[in-house]
């Protein structure tokens, strides 16, 4: 997940660029670089590893100039080396790029045949070379950029800077977000508004296919057909408290701890104190015959939990799909169905592509997003914000529980619209949802015992998570979270599937984490747990007091959670699953890194 910044300013650009890149560190990266134009001369500095390496380089070898572009790179095409780091330069052109150019091999061969050889392994250098060839053929920088963009296939966000041009940047967006920031006599570019927050809150988001010619006087934006486009300027309120660590060691810890507050905010926003739903009227399930829920990663596990809710609470058939698979399997869609796209960022390319795939084939497209200005929000018929606040950590935590909370309310609305729930039952369900923030606080209080258990988990090679019913997707999410930040292999299984293969893995070296509130499925899950214990398995049981009392003996460890309405247990049990991942990762992490940047695996592995 790379980051882009650009500045046409009235002050030295290098410190501003590095500062802005720091704000994008949470996205993960393994090299960084900046380029500036000073007295007409384009120059650049690049370094592998943390931004501090780039800062050190700039102390010894400074870059002057008030115009510049910067980038944090997460290696995809080619290793994390200085040569592969952005900005890429070819002749008078420098470019930074997020995304993937799918036809870069063909373009590279074509350019090589024309005498334009590539130094790096990246798809990005191909862009710089294409623009250079245009300039060599007599094009102006703007003409060169426009011609280059026409040749690119794939998903990208780009920003060009040119030798000899101190008042020009060209930005483009196709499939990867890009924002333009407006200052007074200054202009900025950022792959998200967070990067630009200290410089401006006046933001214009580029739309798909847009490209922009930016000078200090403003931005001229063109659409994919090169027609002048009018894109609104909005004020983006970035609550700085929500993007500071506020005394926590890592953003992930802070965001886990914030969950009671943000869930309470979401419930307050979408329900009334009288025990009724306050969802927009446009969210109407009266004539809807099924819902299709589509997302990636953690958001897709939220959809998976919601499938149980829509079917159990509202009797409404629900399909779930991973966005990256959805459009390739020719889904059969009912014209009376509602498609729900769930995404924290609202910019995930596969989710957006899936949305575009269904748009004209369903009754309504609804977005469940955290960023109301995002592409997925803008392209839906109805966008419902999850109210989680900025989520900086790469590991999605509070966004997951806020997604679940909103999806639970949507399932209740579906039940209400379909006459499947009476007012008193709805009030009771909302009451038990409203109890969640308090219960989550009690779950957060388990952080220390979880940290002690995690010291053992950190030594394991493989860890299994088991759950039944709506706790099955939570087992998948627990495993994803753990492997994502601790790099320990983890898998989630439906408990009933254990005997159909995975049981072969069980021995005393493979911890098995069983997520089992004492609900209607508890006894069945416990009998699967017994299969593990019978093979000398090391079971960590997460349950409530009644569950631990009934089935805790013989297990390796237990964690006692508060008793919760079984329907909403996945929301509560997400907290210990997240804490297990966080604390298991901590002892394995080298001191220079943090959960926000633990994606920088290549560096860690080379230590």
Least distance (Å) between residue 156 CB and ligand M6R? 18
DSSP character for 286?
Answer: T
Write down the least CB distance from residue 463 to ligand M6R, Å: 16
**Alpha-carbon span 413 to 420, nearest angstrom:** 10
| DSSP per residue, 208-253 | TT-EEEEETTEEEEE-TTS-B-----EE----GGGGS-TT-SSHHH
Count the neighbouring beta carbons within 10 Å of the beta carbon of residue 428: 14
Q: What angle do CA 320, 322, 325 make, to 5 degrees?
A: 120
Nearer to ligand M6R, 8 or 488 (CB): 488
375 near ligand M6R (CB under 6 A): no
Query: What is the nearest approach in angstroms of ligand M6R to the Cβ of residue 579?
Result: 14
| Cα dist from 109 to 29, 74, 117, 351, whole Å | 28, 25, 9, 32
Distance of alpha carbon 87 from alpha carbon 71, whole angstroms = 7
* Burial class, 215, CB count within 10 angstroms (exposed 0-12 / middle 13-18 / buried 19+): middle
Edge to edge, the sheet with strand 3-8 lists 41-48, 31-38, 67-73, 3-8, 187-190, 179-182, 202-205, 234-235
Token pair recorded at residue 149: 């963009």
CA-derived radius of gyration, the chain? 25
Residue number, 65 or 492, with CB nearest to ligand M6R:
492
Q: Facing residues of 33 across strands?
A: 46, 71
Per-residue b or e along 446-470, where b marks 16 or more CB atoms closer than 10 Å to that residue's CB: bbebbbebbeebbebeebbbbbbbb
Out of 126, 298, 558, 560, the residue judged to bind ligand M6R by CB under 6 A: 298
Among 299, 390, 426, 475, binds ligand M6R (CB under 6 A): 299
* Residue number, 68 or 346, with CB nearest to ligand M6R: 346
Q: Is 394 near ligand M6R (CB under 6 A)?
A: yes
32/394 with CB nearer ligand M6R: 394
Comparing CB distances to ligand M6R, the nearer of 30 and 596 is: 596
98 interacts with ligand M6R by CB under 6 A: no
In angstroms, what is the minimal distance from the CB of 373 to ligand M6R?
A: 14
Instruction: Give yes or no for a contact between 436 and 463, defined as CB atoms under 8 angstroms apart.
Output: no
Give 395 or 526: the residue with its C-beta nearer to ligand M6R. 395
Q: Which is nearer to ligand M6R, 297 or 478 (CB)?
A: 297
Query: Is residue 292 near ligand M6R by the rule CB under 6 A?
Result: no
Q: How far apart are CB 252 and ligand M6R at their closest, in Å?
A: 9
Identity of the residue, 376 or 529, whose beta carbon is nearer to ligand M6R in the bound complex: 376
Min dist. Cβ of residue 93 to ligand M6R (A): 32
First to last CA, the chain: 22
* Among 214, 266, 395, 514, contact with ligand M6R (rule: CB under 6 A): 395
Give the residue with the Cβ less far from ligand M6R, 148 or 374.
374
Binding ligand M6R by CB under 6 A: which of 296, 366, 367, 579? 296
Cα(494)–Cα(528) distance, integer angstroms: 10
Q: How far is CA 150 from the centre of its chain?
A: 29
Query: Which secondary structure element, helix H or strand E, spans residue 493, and what is its range?
Result: strand 489-494
Of the ranges 114-122, 169-177, 293-301, 556-564, which one interacts with ligand M6R (CB under 6 A)?
293-301
Q: Which of residues 143-202 bind ligand M6R (CB under 6 A)?
A: none
Site string for ligand M6R, 480-519 (x = CB under 6 A): xx--x-----------------------------------
What binding mask, one character per residue, do residues 420-459 give for ligand M6R by CB under 6 A, x or -? ----------------------------------------
Q: Which residue has the tokens 């500062």?
A: 19
Residue in the block written with tokens 């590893």: 49
Site string for ligand M6R, 307-346 (x = CB under 6 A): ------------------------------------xxx-
Of 22-30, 177-185, 199-207, 389-397, the window that binds ligand M6R (rule: CB under 6 A) is 389-397
Contact positions with ligand M6R (CB under 6 A) in 40-69: none
Least distance (Å) between residue 17 CB and ligand M6R = 25
Which residue, judged by CB position, is nearest to ligand M6R in the bound state? 297
Task: Answer whether 148's CB lies under 8 Å from 131's CB.
Answer: yes
Give the footprint of ligand M6R on this chain (CB under 6 A). 296-299, 343-345, 348, 351, 394-396, 480-481, 484
């Amino acid at each position: 997940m790379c980051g882009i910044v650009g500045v046409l300013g009235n002050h030295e650009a290098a410190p501003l660029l590095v500062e802005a890149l720091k704000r994008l560190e949470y996205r993960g990266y393994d090299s960084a670089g900046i380029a500036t134009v000073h007295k007409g001369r384009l120059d650049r500095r690049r370094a592998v590893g943390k931004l501090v390496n780039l800062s050190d380089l700039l102390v010894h070898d400074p870059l002057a100039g008030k115009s510049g572009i910067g980038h944090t790179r997460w290696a995809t095409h080619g290793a994390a080396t200085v040569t592969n780091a952005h900005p890429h330069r070819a002749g008078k052109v420098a470019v930074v790029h997020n995304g993937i150019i799918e036809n870069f091999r063909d373009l590279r061969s074509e350019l090589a045949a024309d005498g334009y050889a590539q130094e790096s392994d990246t798809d990005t250098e191909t862009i710089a070379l294409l623009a250079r060839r245009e300039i060599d053929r007599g094009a102006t920088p703007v003409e060169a950029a426009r011609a280059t963009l026409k040749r690119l296939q794939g998903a990208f966000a780009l920003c060009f800077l040119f030798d000899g041009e101190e008042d020009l940047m060209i930005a483009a967006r196709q499939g990867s977000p890009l924002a333009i920031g407006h200052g007074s006599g200054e202009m900025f570019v950022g792959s998200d508004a967070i990067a630009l927050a200290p410089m401006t809150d006046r933001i214009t988001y580029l739309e798909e296919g847009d490209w922009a010619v930016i000078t200090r006087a403003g931005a001229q934006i063109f659409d994919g057909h090169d027609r002048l486009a009018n894109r609104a300027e909005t004020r983006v309120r970035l609550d700085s408290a929500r993007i500071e660590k506020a005394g926590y060691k890592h953003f992930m810890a802070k965001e886990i701890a914030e969950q009671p507050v943000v869930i309470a905010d979401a419930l307050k926003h979408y329900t009334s104190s009288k025990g009724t739903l306050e969802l927009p009227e446009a969210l109407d399930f009266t004539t809807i015959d099924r819902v299709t829920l589509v997302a990636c990663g953690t958001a897709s596990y939220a959809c998976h939990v919601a499938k149980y809710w829509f079917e159990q609470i509202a009797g409404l058939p629900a399909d779930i799909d991973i966005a990256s698979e959805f459009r390739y399997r020719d889904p059969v869609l009912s014209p009376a169905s509602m498609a729900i796209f769930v995404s924290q960022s609202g910019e995930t390319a596969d989710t957006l592509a899936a949305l575009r795939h269904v748009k004209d084939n369903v009754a309504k497209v609804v977005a469940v997003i955290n960023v109301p200005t995002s592409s997925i929000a803008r392209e839906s018929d109805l966008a419902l914000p999850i109210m989680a606040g900025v989520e900086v950590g790469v590991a999605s935590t509070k966004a997951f529980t806020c997604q679940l909370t909103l999806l639970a309310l949507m399932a209740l609305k579906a039940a209400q619209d379909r006459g499947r729930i009476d007012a008193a039952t709805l009030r009771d369900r909302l009451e038990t949802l409203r109890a969640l923030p308090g219960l989550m606080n009690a779950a957060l209080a388990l952080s220390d015992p979880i940290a002690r258990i995690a010291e053992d988990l950190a030594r394991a090679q493989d860890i299994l998570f088991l759950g039944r019913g709506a706790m099955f997707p939570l087992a998948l999410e627990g495993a994803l979270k753990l492997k994502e930040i601790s790099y320990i292999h983890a898998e989630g299984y439906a408990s009933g599937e254990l005997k159909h293969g995975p049981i072969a893995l069980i021995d005393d070296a493979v911890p098995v984490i069983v997520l089992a509130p004492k609900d209607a499925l508890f006894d069945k899950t416990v009998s699967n747990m017994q299969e593990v214990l019978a093979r000398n398995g090391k079971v960590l049981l997460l349950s409530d007091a009644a569950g631990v009392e009934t089935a805790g003996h013989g297990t390796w460890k237990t964690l006692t959670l508060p008793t919760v309405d079984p329907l909403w247990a996945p929301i509560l049990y997400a907290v210990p699953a997240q804490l297990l991942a966080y604390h298991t990762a901590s002892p394995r992490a080298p001191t220079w890194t943090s959960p926000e940047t633990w994606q920088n695996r290549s560096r860690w592995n080379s230590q």
